[in-house]
Amino acid sequence: MKRIVTIQDISCVGKCSLTVALPIISAMGVETAILPTAVLSTHTMFQNFTCKDLTDQVEPVAAHWKSEKIGFDAIYTGYLASEEQINLLKKFFADFKTEKNLVIVDPAMADNGKLYPAFDEDFAHKMGELCGLADIVLPNVTEASYMTGMEYREVYDEEYIKEMLRALVKLGAKTALLTGVGFEEGKTGVMGYDSASDTFHYYSHRKHAKSYHGTGDIFSSTFVGAVVNGFAWEEAMKIAADFTAESIYITMNDENGCWYGVNFELAIPGLLKALGR
Ligand code: PXL
């Protein structure tokens, strides 16, 4: 059985980070080890959330895993709690990277042109360094603009997105995917760029009228699960985009749907069909 480790926070209520990565990647048939970076009462779009930083746990947990000779088919990082954690994860990558496994970084720190409340530009710059050590990076356009220094635009053309992808791989990763990319009214999607083959792939689908928190984490978790299941990144990004869109659609049509996250749980049977299960 494949095993990955995902390193991000636990937002106890919020349908993001570990509370989506664990169920999604596990449902995809992959053992999902976790290294929590912080425990929050909710994600940071709620008011008055609590937060217990777990930076001091990264090194001892990693040292124990090393002594037990535990390895991973992929290392997937998401929302991190401090710049110090970024430094510790650079070392974690060096210790756990092998010739065969994949390091996948989702620089979850910003959206809609703005950094999340806990972060500043220094943090974004450091996150760019972590992305440089990854095989695959999964930012949205806002995060990519902070890391590459390119101007953030809400309206853009294909050239702007391609330039951004090229700037992302210059940070050091082999492959970069940009999420939330749409070139026409009513559509959104993902564009990826592989530096080794110098190829771009774009996948788009209907853009739903509502957007929800945590959907970036759902995309990234599904992408990681699909890649570890042997799908090429071009296929994995389609599976992940379709699952994310379906989760949004189900939530929009649920009159009891909550504001803070999507009903991805109800889309899991469809995801398993997409995997051929
Ligand atoms: O979905 C990204 C995310 C993860 N974790 C926490 C967050 C957010 C986005 O705001 O606040 C704690």
Nearest CA to ligand 1 atom 1: 214
User: How far does the centroid of ligand 1 lie from the alpha carbon of residue 110, in Å?
Assistant: 9
Which amino acid is located at 13 in the chain? Answer: V
- The atom of ligand 1 lying closest to the CA of 44 is 11
Three-class DSSP category at 150: coil
Indicate the pLDDT class of residue 216, thresholds 50, 70 and 90: very high
Nearest atom (ligand 1) to Cα of 108: 2
Pocket test for ligand 1, best of 82, 213, 221 (most atoms within 8 A of CB): 213
* Ligand 1 center from residue 260 Cα (angstroms): 11
In this structure, the residues whose C-beta lies within 6 A of any atom of ligand 1 are 9, 11, 16-17, 40, 43-45, 79, 108, 116, 214, 216-217
Distance (Å, whole) CA 210 – CA 260: 12
Q: pLDDT, tens digit, for every residue of 97-150?
A: 999 999 999 999 999 999 998 999 999 999 999 999 999 999 999 999 999 999
State mean pLDDT over 226-244. 98
pTM: 0.98
Query: What average pLDDT does the chain have?
Result: 97
Contact 46, 36 (CB under 8 A): no
Q: Which residues of 79-89 are buried (b: 16+ CB within 10 A; e: fewer)?
A: bbbbbebbebb
Q: Tens digits of per-residue pLDDT, 190-203?
A: 999 999 999 999 99
